[in-house]
Amino acid sequence: MRRNKIVTVFWIFSYLLSAAQSQDKPNIVFIFSDDHTWQTISAYGHPLSKVVPTPNIDRIGAEGIRFDRCLVTNSICAPSRAVVLTGKYSHLNGQINNFNTFDGGQVTFPKLLQKSGYETAIVGKWHLKSVPTGFDYHEVMRGQGRYYNPTLYTDGAPTEYEGYNTDVVVDRSLDWLKSRDSDKPFMLMSQFKATHGPFQPALRHLGELDDVTVPLPDNFFDDYTSRSRAPGNHNTSIANVMPLSNLSIDYRIQGEQLAQYRSHFDEANEAFEKANLQGDERAKWRYQRFIKNFLLTSKGIDENVGRLLDYLDESGLAENTIVIYAADQGFFLGEHGWYDKRWMYEECLKTPLLVRWPGVTQEGRVSSDIVSNLDFAPMFLEMAGASIPGEIQGRSLVPLLKGAAPQNWRKSFYYKYYGERRGGSVSEGYYNHGVPPHEGVADKRYKLINFKHDDVDEWELFDHQRDPSEMKSEYGNPEYVETIARLKTELEQLKQRFKIEN
């Protein structure tokens, strides 16, 4: 009898200790958007963000920390997501482009969080082809998904939801939060399709910018001189290439949705076709259509970030929940006349990152340290008190969140884009979007890029102190000979460190 009492007391003590430890571990909500570039987030102060502010995303930074130099290793959707999951560069995690299928058998941070007692979930965009692993619950889109009436899959079983994609993702995220195991700490990845093309706003936002003219970027009519041949061979022109998605209809829009959609766009589309605009005037019209749709799609994200934050407040979870907002990469919004990503140029190399950790991050801090999506996995693991495997190539951001970067924090960063072949000749842009393979190194002032593929071997050097818009390569300038030599040495050292083969 006495032995049974001892066993019972021991069991109760163990249970209470386990429960206390679970309560001590912070919950983590990772909100991850697609192509939601930093220029449109008002916390970053870009003039464009004043057109449609993002007060809810801004709140994360105001109550935590904003990172101003968060760089991606490979600026394209699937590779960036694989880097986040694994903490490894693309060549090691196997996801070098959008065409591969992600190897879900490898070590990822969600699997390690599960081993540390976390309940894990992912809702929304996955874009890695394989079935998600390491999650107690997943409900994800296949491929890009649709902006209206999306289908989400759980263990291969589809469910079609009526409504706008971003709203649906948060609806389902909130449903999971309300039904999860409340005895466990949790990790929720709430991932949006927005603001990826075809840049379709929610119906409630149509027309909000009809009376607004968004200023063109200063370098919208870039002629691509004073650089290598690569940017001149692009295929990402807003003026001539970008599909005007709203001249067509998403087949999922039906009934009253379709009527409302057409009532807004049909008249403007007909007027555009009738006007037969040419040259600069045509380019300006196309830019206005693109940028307004992008900004209003961004507005839908911000509203739904607010819904998540409000739920955390109302449920009493906010004080023990870390909230991270980020995107898979940046995006051109008319700079150099472009849309899209892939390049090592600043607009798409840099991605937003804002983190709120109550009681740990000082409110309103701003970091200019070089950080990366490579660092997300080790950051999540250290937040959860889990061990970080030696194979992970990133570094945890927790020391930066707590106050300052260690003295040996990175001073430079390696980037590599692998290219996606389409056929044709180099001059015809036979790589997808006309963006060829390239690699490079960036520090806080300089960026050295090498376009090396086929029979091409060209370099660019940009001095951000003198040329923040990257309009002129200084590679042939004798004034920069020592800088170029130093950066080339740094590039080779980084390639050796990260096991990059030529």
Mean of per-residue pLDDT scores for the chain:
92
User: Rounded to an integer, what distance in angstroms lies between the CA atom of residue 213 and that of residue 379?
Assistant: 41
Overall residue count recorded for the chain in this entry: 502
pLDDT tens, position by position, 88-100 = 999 999 999 988 8
User: Rounded to an integer, what distance in angstroms lies between the CA atom of residue 347 and that of residue 340?
Assistant: 10
pLDDT tens, position by position, 160-178 = 999 999 999 999 999 999 9
pLDDT at residue 15, rounded to an integer: 44
User: Rounded to an integer, what distance in angstroms lies between the CA atom of residue 173 and that of residue 124?
Assistant: 9
Average pLDDT over residues 440-456: 94
Q: Indicate the CATH number for domain 2-201+288-413.
A: 3.40.720.10
Better-predicted residue by pLDDT, 395 or 423: 395
**Bridge partners (DSSP) listed for residue 190:** 31, 123
Average pLDDT over residues 37-42: 97
Domain spans, the chain? 2-201+288-413, 416-497
Q: Would the pLDDT of 305 be above 60? A: yes
55-62 vs 279-314: helix axis angle to the nearest 10? 60
* pTM for the model: 0.93
User: Rounded to an integer, what distance in angstroms lies between the CA atom of residue 286 and that of residue 265?
Assistant: 13
Q: Which CATH architecture has domain 416-497?
A: 2-Layer Sandwich (3.30)
pLDDT band at 357 (very low <50, low <70, confident <90, very high): very high
pLDDT at residue 189, rounded to an integer: 99
* Spatial CA neighbour of 78 closest among 112, 37, 125, 124: 125
User: Rounded to an integer, what distance in angstroms lies between the CA atom of residue 388 and that of residue 2?
Assistant: 43
Q: Are 449 and 204 in contact (CB under 8 A)?
A: no
Better-predicted residue by pLDDT, 222 or 22: 222
User: Rounded to an integer, what distance in angstroms lies between the CA atom of residue 277 and that of residue 67?
Assistant: 42
User: Rounded to an integer, what distance in angstroms lies between the CA atom of residue 451 and that of residue 161?
Assistant: 44
Least confident of 90-104, 247-261, 300-314: 247-261
pLDDT band at 420 (very low <50, low <70, confident <90, very high): confident
> β-pairing, 151-154 with 157-160?
antiparallel
Helix (H, G, I), strand (E, B) or coil at 296: helix
Least confident of 15-19, 50-54, 67-71, 214-218: 15-19
pLDDT band at 344 (very low <50, low <70, confident <90, very high): very high
Average pLDDT over residues 68-88: 97
Q: Are 228 and 438 in contact (CB under 8 A)?
A: no
Fill in the amino acid letter for 185. Answer: P
pLDDT at residue 2, rounded to an integer: 52
Better-predicted residue by pLDDT, 154 or 16: 154
Average pLDDT over residues 282-304: 96
* Spatial CA neighbour of 291 closest among 152, 422, 195: 195
Q: Would the pLDDT of 217 be above 90? A: yes
pLDDT tens, position by position, 458-494 = 999 999 999 999 999 999 999 999 999 999 999 999 9
pLDDT band at 12 (very low <50, low <70, confident <90, very high): very low
pLDDT band at 246 (very low <50, low <70, confident <90, very high): low
pLDDT tens, position by position, 124-160 = 999 999 999 999 999 999 998 999 999 999 998 999 9
